[in-house]
Amino acid sequence: MSVARVVKVIPGRTVFFVCDLQAKFRPAIHGFDSVVATANKMLKMAKVLDVPVLVTEQNPRSLGPTVPELAFAALGQLHLGTIAKSLFTMLTPEVRDVLSDRQSKSIAIFGIESHVCVLQTTLDLLEAGYDVHVIADGVSSCNAEEVPIALERMRQAGAQITTSESIAFQLQADASRPNFKAFSSVIKDEKDSTKASLQSLLRSNMKQSML
């Protein structure tokens, strides 16, 4: 009997992928503000945990820029770039070039839409040999019913379905590290937002998966 490979997020070799969180999508996406809130939390964690962040925008000439709430400038050099794309997958030639310059192993992805760009990115990353961690309280679609099916499809393909708080603690790993006070502050500051995003996004997903 074969034993399943244990897949862990790897501190120091992880990149956060922010998928197409553009303001023009706000009225159309289920729980969009909750997705943005989780993304903001992950950006704060990126700064504390020293995790690089790569952003894409779907056809920004027509669909406009990423929501202004996401302050990438605060990340400094951790912001690897914001890349325009027409492909649904984030794994464009430009993104592949960025990743090729790094020793990345784990990708944590959040954004929209679960069943289109997030799914196709996840499948392409898995095919390319990356460990993929999908932040379940940080993804959504126009139709809420699409989300649990997309998450299950990604799970079947080998992606790890997790939450923003779980992956943050995995990356922190040790309460004795000197950054733990800053890490703990983010957890406390984002407590209410985290709860609201979980309720907004995952509660409806769980109901759909039970149907």
User: CA nearest 55: which of 26, 29, 27, 94?
Assistant: 94
Q: How many CB atoms lie within 10 A of CB 105?
A: 15
pLDDT at 204 over 90: no
pLDDT at 90 over 90: yes
Q: How far apart are CA 78 and CA 133, in angstroms?
A: 19
CB 108 within 8 A of CB 9: yes
Q: What is the value of pTM for the model shown?
A: 0.93
Which pLDDT score, from 0 to 100, does residue 210 have?
42
First to last CA, the chain: 33
Domain boundaries, the chain: 14-210
* Mean pLDDT of the region 71-98: 95
* Mean pLDDT of the region 85-101: 95
CB 85 within 8 A of CB 110: no
pLDDT at 192 over 70: yes
* Mean pLDDT of the region 162-176: 95
pLDDT at 104 over 80: yes
**Active-site residue list:** 20, 85, 117
Give the mean pLDDT of the chain. 92
What's the CATH number for 14-210? 3.40.50.850
